[in-house]
Structure formats: C-alpha cells, structure tokens
Structure 1
Amino acid sequence: MTKRKARFTQFIAIDWSGAVGPRQKGIAVAECRPGGGAPTLIRPGHIWSRAEVLDLILATETDTLIGLDLGPSLPFVDRGAYFPGWDESPADARGLWALVERICLDDPHFAASSFVDHPEAARHFRRHGGRTGDLFEPGRGRLRATERAQQRMGLSPYSNLNLVGAAQVGKSSLTGMRLLHRLSGRVAIWPFDPVPEAGPVVVELYTTLAAIAAGRARSRSKMRTHAELDAALLALGSAPGGGDGSISDHASDAILTAAWMRKEASRQDFWQPGGLTDEIARTEGWTFGVV
C-alpha cells in the first residue's frame, strides 16, 4: 500500500450506473490533464454502455488516475464474511467479483439481477417491493470500514446491500464488480493492488467529497447548471468550463471530480489513510479521499 511519487499525467472520473439496459444515461466520463485547464467530457452527448467504459479503461496505457463512482466490495470486517452463513461466501474481494460474475453470467450488459435474486444472496439485501432479506441489518444496513470513516467525516453513506431508494448505491456496486472482475490482473485497482511505478490506477470515488472540497454543502452536492459547476471548478483551482444553461448531475459530478482528483492525487493521507489495514484492503477496499 506504499504510495509512489505523484506521476499521473491524466485524470479520468467516471460516474457509474446500475441501471438495467444496454446503455445508461447515468454514465458520464470526464478527463483532464495536469495544470489548470477545465475538465471535459469524453464523448459528450454519447450514451455509454458499461462495456464501452471497460474498453476505455483497458485502452488507457498512460499514467492515468481513473476514478469509478461505485462501491467495489461489500461489508466484510464487521462479521468476518460478506454473507455470514452461506458456504459460498468468498474470502476476499476478487472472490466476490468472481462469484457475482459466475452467478450473473447470463445477465446481459454487466447486469447483476441474477445475483440480487439468488436465494442465499437475497437474504442480505433490501430489495424493491418490500422484499427485505432476513439478514439485512436494520436501518441503513451494514457498512464497510471506509463508509464508517465517511460517517466520521460528517457524510451519510448507505450500505452497498441496500438496493432501494434514490440514494442507494448497491446496484451500481454489483454491476461495477462485474467490471472490476474483467479489469482484475490487467489494471491496478487500489487498494486491492499496490500502486505500480507506471501505468493506470483505478480508485473508488465518492463524488460528494469533490463537491464539499469545492465549498458546496453536503445537501447541495449535486450541480445541475453550468454556472454552479463553473463556480465549483474555480474553487478547486480549475478553469471554468464556460457552458450555459443546464447540465445533468451525472456530467457535473464527473467533471468536478476529475478536477478534484487532479488537485489531490499527490496527497499522502489519501493513499495511506489511517483506517486502511491489509485485511480491509484485501476484502473491502477503500474510498479515495476518505481519511
């Protein structure tokens, strides 16, 4: 988990989506280079598929920091297992990604419906239609160690086992695990992998962190006009984008977070947070920027 010296020459932020279907309007991809230039959307106006995002990451050979707005794993350290009582519960995150992939092999477009409906896995999820598994922890659900650290920072994370409501992140996380399964061994995924001397590195994002760093209140983290986005970019030392009118919050999240990643990529405490242990790095992962 040793941090290498700052070396990134490109920063890509990806707002992910857990929606069903071949293409997701909720996916947005933005990039920027060192300096103060405004981040720009990659393929603006394009409706991305998850497979296209995979291809984009795999084609990235430069020293690029790539942020994905999704949970790369599920809670483990609180119970010593992802799915207590299930004999197929994996021992680490890569095993979890492989399990989701195996069960969802026939689900198209990296969907994870078969995993959500699996009789053993479903016991741990809160699903639509009042279908809450008997092992789903009441309230917000079980949290990873990094999410408990987010709470200590004044944030309000939800469990990746929660699949209901506008604030849920579970669907994005499960579809993202199918992406990570395909990236595993081909691109460094921090902190499951150490930061290599060269090449791209994938990290987990929480886009609200970028908005707060830009001076926005947690309750107003979403920006839906170019004026709001430009003010936030300026607060991070970035040139404004200069657009007019409205913008989707998916696009603004990606653009602002790319600028934030550029600004913070060399922070030692972001790469070596105090709560990150070897076990957590192997099983749960950690959100970049949570200390």
Structure 2
Amino acid sequence: MTKQPLSRRIRFASLALIAGTGIAAGSAQAQDKGTIELAYVEWSSEVASTNVVRAVLEQAGYEVDITSLSAAAMWQSIASGDADAMVAAWLPTTHANYLERVSDDVVDLGPNLDGTKLGLVVPAYTDVDTIADLEENADTFNGTITGIDPGAGLMSLTEKVIESYEIDELDLQSGSGATMTAALASALNNEEDIVVTSWTPHWMFARWDIKYLEDPKNVYGGAEQIHTVTRAGLKEDLPGAYAILDAFEWTPEQMGEVMLGNQAEDAEPYEVAKKWVEENQDVVKEWLPEA
C-alpha cells in the first residue's frame, strides 16, 4: 500500500533513538522492521498512551511516526490507510458515530484500558451538584460551559446533554484540552465557579479538588473503554507490530503516572514515555511477541 505523507508528521529513526535511550537489548531489537504510523487526538490520555506505544514499538525495532489529528480525521486516516493504527478510540459511546461510518475499513482490537468516564466537572467547592441544576445557576458560570476541540465526541455528547436537560442559558464554548485545563486552573486559583467538559483518566483529578456533576438522565452513558483500532490489512503487512498493538493493555493508574509526568515543567511526552517504558519492562514484556 502506498501512503500519502501526513501533515505535521514527526519522523524518528528508531535505531538512533533506541541506541541513545538504553531501551534496546539484543539484535532482534536492533533491526529496522518497517515503519508504522500512529494517529491520535491531543488529549492528555491519548498523548500518554500513544507515546508509550511508540516507545514500545521502537524497542521492538520499528520506526514510528505519530500525528495529532481531530477525532474525526483520526478515524478517517485509519479507514483510508493514511495511518496504521490508534490507541485512542473511546467506545462504545463517545466515538460510536465515527466507528459506524468506517466499520468496514478498520479492525477493532478491543480495549486497551478499562474505567473511563465522561461528563461535566466543577470545582469541589461549587454548590451545584447535578446537571439538572445548571440552567437555574447559569449566572454562577457566566453562561458558559468550557469545552475542548469542536470535533471531539465529548463535545457532541455535551450538545445532547444541553438539549436533553433543556439548558438555554449556558453556551458550549469550544477550544482544546489545554485551554480547558488552563481555564479550570485559573478559576480554581481565584476560587471562582466554572463548569468544563472532562473525562477520566485525566491528570487534573490527581492535582485538583474537583467533582463530576451528576447526570441523572445518563446522557453521557456509563463507564467506557479506550480501544485499539487498526487499518484493514495491517495484520498481513506488519504482523509483529499488529501483535504488539493487540497485546497492549494497561490500567488507569499506569496511564496516570505518565500523564502526571507530562505535566512537569518542560516535560517532553516522548521522553516521559520512554522513561516509563524503561522502568516498567515487566509490564512491557507482556505486550511483546515471544522471541
């Protein structure tokens, strides 16, 4: 399959990188087994997981490209074969519409993480406890729900929440994961009220005293999973890489370690991921094919 270059491609020569990290061990890992392209959304959870998978694939001898895209574009890139895989599919609810559109052209390898949640989050000191009370407390939040990137499934679900709860006095403001957390940090520092779209796992729950608003109508749905999804034909083209992706599975606590590391000043997510991989080889070996 001939692939077109992806925008914002970040290409790394795995031999040079692995040699400098101390990850490589043995001649099998020193071989260049081909290139695999990973797509992801710029959410803290997906930045963490994608970079960890990238480091593991490089340890196994693959060259890896990663590309940040909107959620819709991420799914389309897998379906079209422009990218090989992602470890960022939130199912069965958040990305259900995307999967339905491209189900014939992708392969769902199942969950790589259990225990996710979506919803609206406020500071713990905020008097409002349920989404049903947002409308009558619109002034408390300056008439705004602070969201993330407009193409995210979380934003589509939040629009359904607004409709279902007949919220007319608050507008959903799009932005990004970074702008959402920055707005939340500012409000907390000033002891102000704010309501934001958010998800678990996320580093901000370990850093701040915040809470989910109750969703009595269950519009956001219950706990979800994050799945690994590949393009059709990857198993035949790169069976070793496919096997690693199929075996990749970790816990919210493990993901949380990487996400918190990424919040350190001047942290580079790839370097944080490499360090985590180096220090957790007992976990990583479960993802690698038998030699």
What's the TM-score once normalised by structure 1's chain length?
0.32
More strand by share: 2
More helix by share: 2
